[in-house]
Structure 1
Amino acid sequence: MASHTERPLPHDERAEHRRLDVRGTRLHLAEYAGTGTPLLMLHGFPQHWYAWHKVAGQLAGGYRLLCPDLRGFGWSEGTPRGYDMDSLADDALALLDALGLERVGLVGHDWGAHLGFRLCLRAPERFTGYLALNMSHPWPRHRAVLPNLWRLWFTAFVEYPVLGRAVLRHWPGFTRFLLRHQVADPAAAWTEAEIAEYVRATSGSAAAAQSLFWQYVLHDIPALVRGTRRRERLTVPTLLLGGARDSVVVPSMLAGAEPYADELRVRLVPGAGHYLPQERPAEVADAVRERFAACAQQN
């Protein structure tokens, strides 16, 4: 087993942990037991399952929260390949199969939200609804994206195979900078212990993180330019929650999905940045209740 999977887990007495063999690797799953609708919670970069601990505290057992570490992140084993969105989607669907869950609610943040959109387009029958956090939808308007490409400057230090792995593994100040500067109020969003945890985790998952960004360059950017996703339609009821002060995915990048979705609503959280689960866990929990209230009544 890779050494990063042997690190001590952040303490959260409410979470139960297990590992499941899925598609040639072993994925770590943290589960917050609850009596309500099961929700698959997909983390972003540079985090892992612990990204959801504040939201879990707000929901207080009202939902069964399934918080996996993506392949190669946190305490999930890494592999040489498998970090493109379709492969990660295969992982998520296989994980649901291993858990015996036919249909769940879906919540994603950052890269996890990008993956969530892919899942909803590929297997809409598996999801009762979708809450996406801090991520543009698959049909962003070019006139909104192009003027804001400079905001993704940091990806140039991550995506290239040699440079990216070296930066993430040996330059902890880089990860620390991203965490602190992509929120509206660092002192309110993070404890020093949380920042230290994600810095350590990023060093251990450097190969997976670099591969994730590089696969986006190879596959997703060309698809965006070609308008590949414009031939697809989102049928899963979706709420897209953004931060009004998000410096990575700015509010203008959240508009324009109406022609491609049956039901997609966009809402901004005033005064919040790119890490809503840390900055505004109560608002995220409220959005969970709103999005999945009908599902809970049906169940």
Structure 2
Amino acid sequence: MPSNSTSLAPEHVDRVTVRSLTLRVNGLRIHTRVAGAGPAFLLLHGWPQTSYAWRKLMPLLSPHATVIAPDLRGFGDSSKPATGYDKKTVASDLAALLDALHIDKACVVGHDMGGQVGYAFAALYPQLTDRFVFIESGLPGFGQENAMNVATGGSWHFGFNMAGDISEELVRGREALFVRHFVRRDTVGTFDPSSITEEDINVYATALTQPGALRASFSYYRTLFVDRDDNLQFGLKKLEMPVLAVGCDFGYGGGSKATMERVASNVRGVELSESGHYPAEEQPQQLASVLLDFLG
């Protein structure tokens, strides 16, 4: 059983008490927000966010379930080690986290980069994964290469984030500008920019100013080719648990479902309306409704 040192600092989000825990697992500090009771949701945030991304969703889920929202290694208030950003290793942190919390099984919900971590988790730890939700995400080895290629309409930031030390040097001191670009852009940004405020952007930007945070953040991209090889091995055996693929009409649309159909045998697709790439912040009511329906 991993040891843990907990710093209990209750915070109140829309009248729901959220416990803030710092757990020692895999030799790291993993900061986690926990609320509610009942069957477990494990919420895995995307890039370049933190567990703060789930602040609107947790009050909607916690009356019905135990909601666990960690800062993935390298993000927020979690440790920022020099290595271990391939999604298989990050998934092992989460298995140890559930063990430390005495959670036997969870509905794993991953958004964006958290979706890639969630897929590795579901493939490696099916006994811990009751169901899997893949939100606005893609997988190296199963189509994400097109999103990485600007020649096919992909985003420039994949190459930029992989570039090495120059990436950190160009973003350092401009973290808010960097985060704001991704939140406000027209393609795979927000449908309603006011859903993620300047104060919210500053929360994410401030997290990136911590020592090692930019390096850790970019390391999630610098390991994508390792992840591709791992995913191709995982994909030899399709996921058997129920999978919900969530897209958004101003985000990836049906892309998440198309990806999951290549690696899972029991896939249901949902597309949320009037949402860009960040449905937990843009359309939390819609997202909560489909998650609770999927959990049953």
TM-score by length of 2: 0.85
Distance in 1 between residues matched to 2:259 and 2:48, nearest whole Å = 28
- In the alignment, which residue of structure 2 is the partner of 1:24? 27
Could you tell me whether the CA contact under 8 Å between 2:245 and 2:256 is conserved in 1? Answer: no
Instruction: Give the Å deviation of 1:250.
Output: 4.9
- Counterpart in the other structure of 1:297: none
Which AA in structure 1 matches 2:135? L
3-state SS, counterpart of residue 151 of structure 1: coil
Instruction: Give how far 1:129 is off.
Output: 0.8
Q: What is residue 210 of structure 1 aligned with on the other side?
A: 218
Which residue of 1 is the match for residue 5 of structure 2?
none
Shift of 1:184: 3.5
1:194 alignment counterpart:
200
2:183 and 2:193 in contact (8 A); partners too = no
Check the 8 A contact 1:58/1:285 in 2, yes or no. yes
| Aligned counterpart, 1:53 | 55
Q: Match for 1:117: what amino acid? A: Y
2:183 to 173, 179, 183: 179
| 3-state SS of paired residue (1:236) | coil
- Map 1:71-220 onto structure 2 (within 5 A): 71-136=73-138, 140-141=142-143, 149-172=152-175, 173-181=177-185, 182-204=188-210, 205-216=213-224, 218-220=225-227
Measured in 2, the distance between the counterparts of 1:82 and 1:277 equals 27
Residues 168 and 215 in structure 2, CA contact (< 8 A), matched pair in contact too: yes
User: Structure 1 CA distance, aligned partners of 2:173 and 2:144?
Assistant: 35
**Correspondence for 2:247 among 206, 219, 242:** 242
Q: Which amino acid aligns with 2:173?
A: H
Q: How far apart, in 1, do the equivalents of 2:269 and 2:108 lie? A: 16
Distance across 2 between alignment mates of 1:127 and 1:17: 23
Mapped partners of 1:76, 1:128: distance in 2: 25
Distance 1:97 1:230 in 2: 26
Q: How many residues align?
A: 280
Alignment deviations for residues 211-250 of structure 1 (CA, whole Å, 9 cap, x no partner): 111011x3124566xx44441211121101011211xx45
SS at match of 2:291: helix
What is the deviation of 1:180?
A: 1.4
Deviations 1:248-296 (A, max 9, x none): x453463164464231111211232111111110111011111111xxx
Alpha-carbon shift at residue 157 of structure 1 (Å): 2.2
Question: Contact 1:47–1:202 at 8 Å: present in 2 too?
Answer: no
Comparing both structures, which one devotes a greater share of its residues to helix? 1
Spell out the pairing of 1:34-53 with structure 2 (5 A cutoff).
Answer: 34-53=36-55
Cα gap change, 1:214 to 1:149, in 2 (>3 Å): farther
Larger RCO of the pair (alpha carbons < 8 Å, separation 6+): 1
Code of the aligned partner of 1:284: L
Provide the rounded CA distance (Å) in 2 between the counterparts of 1:256 and 1:201: 31
Aligned-residue identity in percent: 26
TM-score by length of 1: 0.84
CA RMSD of aligned residues (A): 2.6
1:268-283 matched pairs, under 5 angstroms: 268-283=271-286
**Displacement after TM superposition at 1:139 (Å):** 6.6
> Structure 1 266/144 Cα, relative in aligned 2: closer, same or farther at 3 Å?
farther
Task: Tell me how far 1:207 sits from its aligned partner.
Answer: 1.5
CA distance in 2, matches of 1:206, 1:267: 33
Paired position in structure 2 for 1:3: none
In the alignment, residue 212 of structure 1 is paired with which amino acid? Answer: Y
**1:29–1:260 Cα change, 3 Å:** closer
